[in-house]
């Protein structure tokens, strides 16, 4: 299908993208200097807020060593410590942790287990997220991606743009993806799908059905969304129109921008729905901001999003800084971008243009390239498994599941695991999605255990000592989706927890037993 947009528009998009991407590629040393400038701007902007006065931002700005003074005067915090501040802003108070009134709040729970958190989203943050998104889109155009594809359709499988008023009707709350997709630039609206009417649909199943209805009308070149829901959407479209692959209806589909969870468990299934290879590019859009994105399929990781209203700090994820349940210790030490090292695990702290200050967002990352400041997400501070010193990260789990899927030649889209202890004897109980009746639990368990030993030395050591048993229960994949539906966690942002806690474990076991009896 030829482009209906003139070459002039294509050229303008490419040139605009080049300007946006120029300040993004920074070495570690240059990034540190840029980060200091960002920090000073953020502190200056919030100097007269309640938070700024409480923690003496004026004194910090007057210091000759602003970052050191910032470290000394402003505490490291998590959501529990920011809740009271942000609750005031949510109730309509102005100048709490960021100047003026915060109109939007992103609802974030991380997984199907957590209670919702309300994260402030300022107008400055909306602009920051928009800039980052455009940078990634244009970075793709600077590969061998055909330039006229810039003027085809982009499908964003996002949350509803219909937001919820708080009790006083003073602020709005909803999925961050819904907030940002309602602020798509006018010039980009012509390329963006679905329509604003469909984006405003609150019922997630109805939204999917409406997208399927209109799918034949679009020439989709790029798609973005959480892997589990993209897979479900593709399957619905293929079934509705009796297709072999998704490329039968969208022949130009070339890029999938994914994030939220690891791709490994879903990639085999997604590839099976494609008619040709596409580019998979990762994004790191947290409720607190657009942290990083992958610029090309050959990148080692995602580039941190510098010069965009965020200051990054990194807390080494070890016993000195975190307790056995993943809570940050009071004496935890944070490092700047200049101090981090390759392949070490860090918990991420953000200071942002939405009024987050040295805020622990809950994710753990490691640097895979210091020259280009590229990171990989390794898991969550509270979603790792270490009941006896095995220190098993979600990253380890994802890689092991990916190997298991390849060895068994069957898709494995979901899994979860629970640590069990009985005195000095410890065990891991796995629940793995598998629709292939020929595969036996014992075979899957032996392979999974082998791969985890190869990926994690601590795990291998503990398998010889305290970690006495590893158990695997293979269950139909739709049980994971049905569980989220039963928990009221059904939508674009919903993700199944990779590590189950005591709070939900009994409910989950009862649910599985009920549906597999």
Q: What is the pLDDT of residue 86?
A: 95
| 3-state DSSP assignment of residue 148 | helix
The DSSP element (H or E) to which 225 belongs, if any, is strand 220-225
Q: Are 376 and 366 in contact (CB under 8 A)?
A: yes
**pLDDT band at residue 133 using 50, 70 and 90 as cut-offs:** confident
**If you average pLDDT over every residue of the chain, what do you get?**
86
Q: What would the pLDDT profile of 198-219 be if each residue is shown by its tens digit?
A: 887 878 888 899 999 999 999 9
Once rounded to an integer, what is the mean pLDDT over residues 446-450? Answer: 96
Beta bridge partners of 173: 105, 164
Q: What is the pLDDT of residue 465?
A: 84
Higher pLDDT: 479 or 202? It is: 479
Q: Which domains does the chain have, with CATH numbers?
A: 1-382 (3.40.50.12780), 394-516 (3.30.300)
Q: What would the pLDDT profile of 373-391 be if each residue is shown by its tens digit?
A: 999 998 888 888 888 888 8
**pLDDT band at residue 22 using 50, 70 and 90 as cut-offs:** very low
Once rounded to an integer, what is the mean pLDDT over residues 106-116? Answer: 59
**pLDDT band at residue 111 using 50, 70 and 90 as cut-offs:** very low
Once rounded to an integer, what is the mean pLDDT over residues 134-154? Answer: 76
With a CB cutoff of 8 Å and minimum separation 6, the contacts of 418 are: 428, 429, 499, 500, 505
Write the secondary structure of 150-185 as one string of H (helix), E (strand) and C (coil).
HHCEEEECCCCCCCEECCCCCCEEECHHHHHHCCCC
Q: What would the pLDDT profile of 394-446 be if each residue is shown by its tens digit?
A: 889 999 999 999 999 999 989 999 999 887 889 999 999 999 999 999 999 99
Q: Evaluate if residue 245 carries a pLDDT over 50.
A: yes
Q: What is the pLDDT of residue 187?
A: 55
- Burial (CB < 10 A; 0-12, 13-18, 19+), residue 188, is middle
What's the token pair of residue 355? 């009024």
Q: Which of 122, 126, 195 is nearest to 156 (CA)?
A: 195
**pLDDT band at residue 228 using 50, 70 and 90 as cut-offs:** confident
**pLDDT band at residue 514 using 50, 70 and 90 as cut-offs:** very high
What's the token pair of residue 284? 């790191």
Q: What would the pLDDT profile of 69-95 be if each residue is shown by its tens digit?
A: 999 999 999 999 999 999 999 999 999
High-pLDDT (> 70) share of the chain, %: 87
Dist CA 364 CA 379 (whole Å): 5
Query: For 475, how many CA atoms within 13 A lie in the half-sphere containing its CB?
Result: 25
């Amino acid at each position: 299908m030829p482009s209906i947009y003139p070459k002039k528009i294509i050229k303008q998009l490419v040139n605009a993208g080049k300007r946006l991407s120029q300040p993004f590629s920074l070495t570690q040393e240059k990034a540190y200097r840029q980060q200091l400038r960002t920090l000073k701007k953020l502190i200056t902007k919030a100097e007269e807020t309640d938070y700024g006065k409480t923690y003496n931002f004026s004194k910090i700005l007057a210091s000759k060593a602003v970052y050191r003074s910032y470290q000394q005067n402003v505490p490291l915090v998590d959501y529990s410590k920011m809740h009271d501040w942000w609750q005031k802003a949510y109730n309509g108070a102005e100048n709490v942790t960021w100047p003026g009134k915060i109109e939007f709040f992103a609802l974030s729970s991380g997984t199907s287990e957590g209670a919702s958190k309300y994260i402030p989203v300022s107008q400055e943050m909306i602009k920051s997220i928009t800039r980052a998104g455009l940078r990634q889109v244009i970075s793709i155009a600077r590969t061998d991606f055909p330039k006229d594809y810039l003027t085809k359709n982009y499908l964003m499988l996002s949350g509803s743009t219909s937001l919820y008023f708080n009790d006083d009707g003073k602020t709005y709350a909803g999925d961050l993806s819904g907030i940002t997709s309602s602020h798509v630039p006018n010039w980009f609206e012509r390329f963006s799908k679905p329509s604003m009417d469909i984006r405003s649909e609150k019922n997630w199943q109805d939204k999917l059905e409406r997208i399927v209805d209109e799918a034949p009308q679009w020439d989709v070149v790029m798609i973005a969304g959480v892997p589990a829901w993209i897979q479900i959407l593709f399957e619905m479209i293929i079934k509705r129109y009796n297709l072999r692959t998704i490329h039968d209806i969208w022949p130009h589909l070339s890029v999938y921008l994914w994030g939220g969870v690891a791709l490994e468990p879903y990639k085999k299934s997604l590839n099976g729905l494609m008619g040709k290879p596409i580019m998979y590019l990762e994004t790191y859009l947290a409720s607190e901001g657009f942290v990083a994105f992958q610029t090309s399929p050959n990148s080692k990781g995602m580039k941190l999003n510098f010069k965009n209203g965020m200051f990054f700090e990194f807390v080494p994820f070890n016993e000195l800084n975190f307790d056995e349940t993943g809570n940050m210790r009071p004496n935890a030490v944070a490092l700047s971008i200049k101090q981090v090292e390759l392949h070490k695990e860090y918990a991420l702290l953000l200071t942002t243009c939405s009024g987050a200050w040295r805020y622990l967002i809950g994710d753990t990352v490691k640097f895979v390239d210091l020259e280009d400041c590229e990171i990989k997400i390794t898991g969550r501070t509270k979603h790792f498994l270490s009941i006896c010193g095995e220190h098993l990260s979600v990253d380890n789990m994802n890689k092991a599941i990916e190997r298991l899927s390849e060895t068994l030649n069957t898709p494995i889209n979901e899994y979860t695991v629970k640590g069990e202890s009985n005195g000095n004897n410890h065990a891991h109980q796995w629940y793995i999605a598998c629709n292939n009746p020929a595969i036996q639990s014992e075979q899957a368990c032996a392979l999974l255990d082998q791969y985890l030993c190869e990926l994690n030395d601590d795990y291998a050591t503990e398998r010889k000592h305290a970690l006495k048993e590893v158990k695997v229960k293979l269950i139909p994949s739709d049980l994971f989706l049905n569980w989220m539906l039963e928990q009221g966690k059904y939508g674009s942002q919903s993700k199944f927890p990779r590590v189950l806690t005591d709070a939900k474990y009994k409910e989950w076991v009862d649910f599985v037993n009920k549906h597999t009896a």
